[in-house]
Amino acid sequence: MASFLPIISLFLVVVISLMVVRIATVALVLTGISQQLAQFQARSAFTGAGFTTSESDKVTQHPVRRKIIMLLMLLGNAGIVTAVSSLMLSFVNTGDEHPVSIWLRFGLLGLGLAVLWSITQSQWVDQRLNNLVEWALRRWTDLEVADYSNLLHLGHGFMVIEMEVEQEDWLVERDLAGLRLSEEGVLVLGIERPGADYLGAPRGTTSLKAGDTVILYGPRDVLTNLDERRAGSSGNWDHHKAVDKQLKAQREQAELEKEAEETSGN
């Protein structure tokens, strides 16, 4: 059993590392950046991979994000060193060990990593873990330090994000009027364009370019889908589904308001 303790400790380090990155990702999303960018920044900081200049600016210019990244860097250095040390110790041959035992440890390591990989790819686990982490962060931290959090009902199904427009995105090279984001329940608050002044409350004739950072407000699930939406027929279909969902929500809200009026009238 003692020969398997290093592998068990390795799994514990990996699980804790995954949880740390997940918590940091959700925390960064709560500060107003997109899911994909938050995930990239959290993983980069934890592994020490670093950022590009524009992404580094997004962190250093925001005090809460800066604290999250600094903590990730500290924990990442300790976690990676421990994981590598545990892995090396688990396969050190003392000279009198049976070869079957070594292959058994290889099998245990592969099986454990496969299980962890399947868990990280599960949408069901991902959604519930995100909800749990978000609830815990809101319960025991004060990430939402700005008054606009309450004004915009952030945390009640709505959020504000910074989304970088990429060349393959559904948004690229299209004007705001043609995108019809308002029909999905999404409002464009502003656009940051490299080499140009910040454009607040842009008009419908404004076209989005690759490299733009667009600030959006709307339902969390719609913004998450929009961040992952790519150009082409699949992106158009996602747009139509989001519009239908928004129309259904509006009808349900209208029915609730009508019922409330009838109840109060009686």
Residue 145: predicted pLDDT = 44
Residue 29: predicted pLDDT = 76
So where are the chain's domains? Answer: 2-139, 148-260
Residue 252: predicted pLDDT = 87
Q: What is the mean pLDDT of residues 31-39?
A: 74
- Mean pLDDT, all residues of the chain: 75
Residue 214: predicted pLDDT = 92
Could you give the CA distance from residue 163 to residue 216 in angstroms, rounded to a whole number?
Answer: 7
**Closest by CA position to 11, among listed 149, 135, 117, 152:** 117
Task: Answer yes or no: are the C-beta atoms of 28 and 68 closer than 8 Å.
Answer: yes
Tokens describing residue 260: 């409330």
Residue 97 has pLDDT above 70, yes or no: no
For residues 111 and 265, the model is more confident at 111
For residues 186 and 20, the model is more confident at 186
Residue 54's pLDDT band, with cuts at 50, 70 and 90, is low
- Which residues neighbour 35 within 8 Å (Cβ) at sequence distance 6 or greater? 25, 29, 161, 224, 227
Identify the residue whose tokens are 């409002």: 187
Task: Answer yes or no: are the C-beta atoms of 90 and 7 closer than 8 Å.
Answer: yes
* β 213-219/158-164 pair status: antiparallel
Residue 263 has pLDDT above 60, yes or no: yes
For residues 4 and 73, the model is more confident at 73
What HEC string does 77-104 produce?
HHHHHHHHHHHHHHCCCCCCCCHHHHHH
Phi, psi of 90 (to 5 degrees): -70, -20
According to CATH, what is the number of the domain 148-260? 3.30.70.1450
pLDDT tens for residues 191-212? Answer: 988 888 888 888 888 999 998 9
**Closest by CA position to 28, among listed 86, 93, 72:** 72
- Other CB atoms within 10 A of residue 211 CB: 15
Could you give the CA distance from residue 104 to residue 146 in angstroms, rounded to a whole number?
Answer: 54
pLDDT tens for residues 129-179? Answer: 777 777 776 676 665 544 455 556 666 678 888 888 989 999 999 999 999
Q: What is the mean pLDDT of residues 213-236?
A: 89
